[in-house]
Structure 1
Amino acid sequence: MTSCTQGPARAVPETPAGLVRFNSLPVAEAAAALREVCSCAAWVRILLARRPYATVGDLLGAQDAATAALSAADLAEAVAGHPPIGRPEPGDALAAREQRGMAGASERLRREMLELGLRYQDTFGHVFLICATGRSGEEMRDALRERIGNPPRREREVVRSELGKINRIRLTRLAEAGEERP
């Protein structure tokens, strides 16, 4: 007779309430929630098509694949949904929270960011996009100074990477947030 011993039982991670809620939303409501994360229609369609998500990791993996697959036009559409650093739209609590590193910035730093940001826009045709969460105003300015000299193709890939970071933070918040939106 052969004895079969089992190892310790593995804990199955509980699906966060926000992810359960997101998975169960009607398509139009789920699309609206995703548009709050990223304004690119192609990205929203890709994430909607892969629902339901068993884990936050599955959702983030789908996000990574969707962001990597964005065309140049799709990427431009996604970036157009972001306000300039230090100048979120009035009432845009999400952008204000993400850009809080600029909240206490000096007037000099704000002017410098505006001037550099406008130069960046003239060079690349869109706002400077950076995952601002946890960064100081000085760190964002330094990144802007560095990236303004990038060739367009290189900068497009940096923007894609930064967009992916932003989307991951926002999706994690959505998935873990119960009734809250990102």
Structure 2
Amino acid sequence: MPAQPALGLGGFNQLTDRQRMNLLFGVCSSTIWARRVLAGAPFRTVDALLDRADRVLAELPDAEIDAALDGHPRIGARPDNPASAREQAAVQVAQDDVKAALAVKNREYEAKFGYVYLVCASGRSAEELLAILTERLDNDPETERRVMRSELAKINRLRLERLLAEPVAQAGSSA
């Protein structure tokens, strides 16, 4: 059986608005973000899509950023979606003491900042994610909010790039 071709930008642009909205919502759980990104379609280049995604995210109010965070489980917790599971794969095989330290630091972070610790976890070990978390606990709330938004933008970009690279059937079923 031949391999399915990647969705690609052309395939993405050919989908219905509803299908594209569904896929974008799988990238970021803010419906406002997904709608506003979709409003820029069709996209002439992948960079145009990524730039639009970044601009829309930068303009979102904090309340909508909080909605976007709802789509991200705690680092070290059982991932509740395929994207998070793939991104946090290294954490799932970490030593129990590292997982326990992540759980403690996650609670400390949430108590201090009021939202889940968000970091672009792809390709990072559990120990590295714990070190980043520990370091970010020293941030003041305003600095941390900027850092978190930056990490969310990285995650959204990574997920958009992966979405376009996935086979058509897989991209359609991951939303």
TM-score by length of 2: 0.90
Confirm whether residue 74 of structure 1 aligns to residue 51 of structure 2: no
Superposed displacement of residue 89, structure 1: 3.5
Aligned ranges 1:112-127 → 2 under 5 Å? 112-127=101-116
Select 2:95's aligned residue among 92, 95, 106: 106
User: Is residue 125 of structure 2 the alignment partner of residue 136 of structure 1?
Assistant: yes
Identify the residue that residue 96 of structure 1 maps to in structure 2: 85
Unaligned residue ranges in structure 1 (runs of 5+) = 1-15
Separation in structure 2 between the aligned mates of residue 174 and residue 93 of structure 1, nearest angstrom: 12
User: Residue 28 of structure 1: which of 18, 24, 29 is its match?
Assistant: 18
Between the aligned partners of 2:103 and 2:109, the Cα distance in structure 1 is 10
For the pair 1:61 / 2:43, whether they are aligned, the reply is no
The sequence identity of aligned pairs, in percent, is 39
User: Which residue of the partner structure matches residue 13 of structure 1?
Assistant: none
Shift of 1:94: 1.8
Aligned position for 2:148:
159
Runs of 4+ more than 4 Å apart: none
Q: Which amino acid aligns with 1:52?
A: P
Larger proportion of helix: 2
Paired amino acid for 2:45: T
User: Unpaired runs of 5+ in structure 2?
Assistant: 1-5
- How big is the shift at 1:104? 2.0
1:171 to 156, 160, 168: 160
Task: Name which one, 1 or 2, has greater alpha-carbon Rg.
Answer: 1
Work out the CA distance in 1 between the residues paired with 2:26 and 2:116.
18
Of residues 22, 38, 47, the one that matches 2:37 is 47
The alpha carbon displacement at 1:55 in A equals: 1.2
Offset of 1:45 from its aligned partner? 1.3
Instruction: Supply the RMSD in Å over aligned alpha carbons.
Output: 1.4
Cα distance in 2 for partners of 1:89, 1:109 equals 17
Name the aligned partner's letter for residue 110 of structure 2: Q
Question: If the length of structure 1 is used for normalisation, what is the TM-score?
Answer: 0.86
